[in-house]
Amino acid sequence: MKPAPIVDPGTEPYWSGLKQKKLLLRHCRTCGKPHFYPREVCPHCHSLDLDWSEASGRGTIYSYTVAHRPAGPAYAEDVPYTIAVVELDEGPRLMSWIVGDKSGLAIGSGVRVRFEPLNEEFDLPVFELARDAS
């Protein structure tokens, strides 16, 4: 079984948002910048005045790797799988999987979010290549 996130009070809204098909970013009301993963203090300006905002779900591949050896037995049947660092249009980067048709996948490729269940309790934000011109 793949490891599930161990949620804490600071991250619970993020994981709840995913269940509602929303990718939430922590957003600083002082400097205006969003960040990922959600923190108690803005990593840019160190303000405590933070809110949540919904990301567009669009971004580009900042880097990726294809795992040919699994991260433990839980991932053995997925090999090879593509893990990327996605840079969201809003700026923050997050790790995810690239799923679906991966032909033409490259650094800089446009991607959009899709929500896939990890188990009954959690959804994960995965990405597929955006085939439109945007």
Partner 1 sequence: MARHEAVIVGVADEPLTNGKTTRPGSPLQIQARCAKAALAEAGLDLSDVDGLFTAGMWGIPGVGQLPTVTLSEYLGIRPRLHDGTNIGGSAFEAHVAHAALAIEAGHCEVALITYGSAQRSEMSRNLAGRPATLTMQFETPWGLPTPVGGYALAAMRHMHEFGTRPEDLAEIAVAARAWAALNPAATRRDPLSVDDVLAAPRISTPLGLLDCCLVTDGGGAVVMTRADNVRKDAAKPIYVRGFGQAATHWTIAAMPDLARLMAAEMAGRRAMEMAGVSHDRIDLVEVYDSFTITTLMTLEALGFCERGEGGAFVGNGRIAPGGAFPLNTNGGGLSYAHPGMYGIFLLIEAVRQMRGEVEAERQVRNVRTALVHGTGGTLSSGATCILSVN
**Cα dihedral value 28, 125, 5, 37, nearest 10:** -20
**5 binds partner 1, rule: CB under 8 A:** yes
- The two three-digit tokens of residue 37, written as one number: 């993963």
Stretch that binds partner 1, among 20-28, 51-59, 66-74, 109-117 (CB under 8 A): 66-74
104 binds partner 1 (CB under 8 A): no
> Applying CB under 8 A, does 118 fall inside the site for partner 1?
yes
Task: Give me the residues that bind partner 1 (CB under 8 A), please.
Answer: 2-8, 11, 36-37, 62-72, 74-75, 78, 81, 83, 85, 93-97, 107-108, 118, 124
